[in-house]
Amino acid sequence: MRTEHSALTPRDRGWAARLGRLGPVLIAAPVVLAIAVVSFIVTDAGEASTPEAAATGSAAAATPSAPPPAASPAAKPSPVPAKPGWVAVDPGEQQARAAAFFARTPRKVTGKPVQVPEFHATCTVSHHGDDDPIVFPGLPGASHNHTFWGNKSTDSRTTAVSLRAGATSCNPQQDRSGYWIPTLYQNGRVIDPDEITVYYGSRLKDPAKTQPFPYGLRMIEGDAKKKSDPNGNRFWCAGIGGEVGRSADGVFPVCASTAHIVRQITFPDCWDGKHLDSPDHKAHMSGALHTGVCPRSHPIPIPSVSFVISYQDLSAKTDGITLSSGNSFSMHADFFNGWDEEALAARVRNCLNQGVKCNAAGGF
């Protein structure tokens, strides 16, 4: 019986023998290629999806005791965290600022000032706008309407750099911070505060440990989406006679003719020491523990910022009041620090650290 090989010439049988020896190589080549392709596409998390990365990974797996290559100067760790929304401070610079601050000699207390660690700025409304440079930076018109005071240039494009050049509606003039709250309406008409006092104090057990917050720090207090609160909306009547009743819906106090509506908003006074801002504009800040000290997560005591907002036009008639952010429970406040660093440091050292009340000029 004839076989397939019997039909071949001697020359053909020679080529067949050569191909037979190459068969394993020809079969293995596609397998190696397929493995290389898979290694290129499927890489470990965090590695570059390149053949070089795959080869490096294989080599590392084969020699786990091999030391990693030395980092180049360009690979120096950055203080900027990986998560978006976190704005980091340089840890070395922050440590140097703190050391320089506590090395200052406080001014000798004169007279008989009130023994309360506090100083303040007195401000008036500067403008309104549908902007929020903390929540919607660089997006004009993206926010509900806000009532601004302090830095007159505050808008969606505001940065720490731009605050330095802006004029202010506050006394002292060294306070060029940006402050804002949702605009208040009564029956659709804008009601502006007649005056805002921004208090800087300490509610901690030892105010001598308080240090200035860094330039450009920003934070938010309150919740623009809040609809109710078992403790009420926190508007109250200031002045002789105080509260004499409630509005028709029971939400707002009705004041005596000699009193008027006031709202106070107080920010946290403990800072993480690492960030100027966080994704929710709150996580880098914290309130003190019940013991009067800052928690380990936010160990740096900073001035407690508190807005006292006076609405002189709201007294006996307090029906129909709303905010641009919703009902009165949605009240919130934003702070973007633009204080002159020397002026702020002097007030913290002389007033807060010594536990005395100072005036707007920083005097006793």
Q: Are residues 205 and 250 in the same domain?
A: yes
Q: Is residue 301 part of a domain?
A: yes
Length of the chain (residues): 364
Confidence band (pLDDT; 50, 70, 90) for 225?
A: very high
Q: Are residues 26 and 161 in the same domain?
A: no
Q: Are residues 129 and 266 in the same domain?
A: yes
Q: Is residue 206 part of a domain?
A: yes
User: d(Cα 39, Cα 78) in Å, to the nearest integer?
Assistant: 31
State the pLDDT at residue 76. Answer: 38
Q: Are residues 306 and 229 in the same domain?
A: yes
Closest CA to 163 of 82, 218, 123: 218
Q: Is residue 364 part of a domain?
A: no
Contact (CB, 8 A) for 189 and 347: no
Listed range (24-38, 152-166, 261-275, 336-350) with the worst mean pLDDT:
24-38
Q: Is residue 328 part of a domain?
A: yes
State the pLDDT at residue 84. Answer: 74
Cβ neighbours around 62 below 10 Å, total: 8
Side-chain-side CA neighbours of 3 within 13 Å: the count stands at: 4
Cβ neighbours around 76 below 10 Å, total: 7
Listed range (4-8, 291-295, 310-314) with the worst mean pLDDT:
4-8
Closest CA to 216 of 149, 284, 264, 170: 284
State the pLDDT at residue 268. Answer: 97
Q: Are residues 27 and 94 in the same domain?
A: no
Sequence-separated (6 or more) residues with CB below 8 Å from residue 274: 88, 89, 91, 94, 284
Sequence-separated (6 or more) residues with CB below 8 Å from residue 50: 40
Q: Are residues 186 and 131 in the same domain?
A: yes
Tell which wins on pLDDT, 109 or 34. Answer: 109
Q: Are residues 345 and 298 in the same domain?
A: yes
Q: Is residue 66 part of a domain?
A: no
Confidence band (pLDDT; 50, 70, 90) for 38?
A: very low
For 108-146, how does the pLDDT look when each residue is reduced to its tens digit (9 = 90+)?
999 999 999 999 999 999 999 999 999 999 999 999 999
Q: Is residue 283 part of a domain?
A: yes
CA angle 346/347/350 to nearest 5° reads 80
Judge whether residue 54 has pLDDT over 80: no
State the pLDDT at residue 83. Answer: 60
DSSP 8-state code for residue 161: H
When divided into structural domains, the chain yields a total of 2
Q: Are residues 198 and 329 in the same domain?
A: yes
Enumerate the β-bridge partners of residue 304.
Answer: 201
State the pLDDT at residue 35. Answer: 38
For 79-93, how does the pLDDT look when each residue is reduced to its tens digit (9 = 90+)?
444 467 999 999 999
User: d(Cα 3, Cα 240) in Å, to the nearest integer?
Assistant: 121
Judge whether residue 49 has pLDDT over 70: no
Structural domain that includes position 132: 90-352
Q: Are residues 143 and 285 in the same domain?
A: yes
* Burial class, 191, CB count within 10 angstroms (exposed 0-12 / middle 13-18 / buried 19+): middle
Q: Is residue 64 part of a domain?
A: no
For 298-332, how does the pLDDT look when each residue is reduced to its tens digit (9 = 90+)?
999 999 999 999 999 999 999 999 999 999 999 99
For 146-170, how does the pLDDT look when each residue is reduced to its tens digit (9 = 90+)?
999 999 999 999 999 999 999 999 9
CA angle 98/154/236 to nearest 5° reads 85
State the pLDDT at residue 68. Answer: 38
User: d(Cα 292, Cα 333) in Å, to the nearest integer?
Assistant: 24
Q: Are residues 155 and 297 in the same domain?
A: yes
* Alpha helices (runs of H) in the chain, residue ranges in sequence order: 10-41, 51-62, 91-102, 160-165, 341-347
Q: Are residues 207 and 336 in the same domain?
A: yes
Q: Is residue 157 part of a domain?
A: yes
Tell which wins on pLDDT, 32 or 293. Answer: 293
Q: Are residues 152 and 52 in the same domain?
A: no
For 173-192, how does the pLDDT look when each residue is reduced to its tens digit (9 = 90+)?
999 999 999 999 999 999 99
Judge whether residue 243 has pLDDT over 70: yes
Closest CA to 119 of 175, 73, 69, 78: 175
List the structure tokens of 81: 């965290």
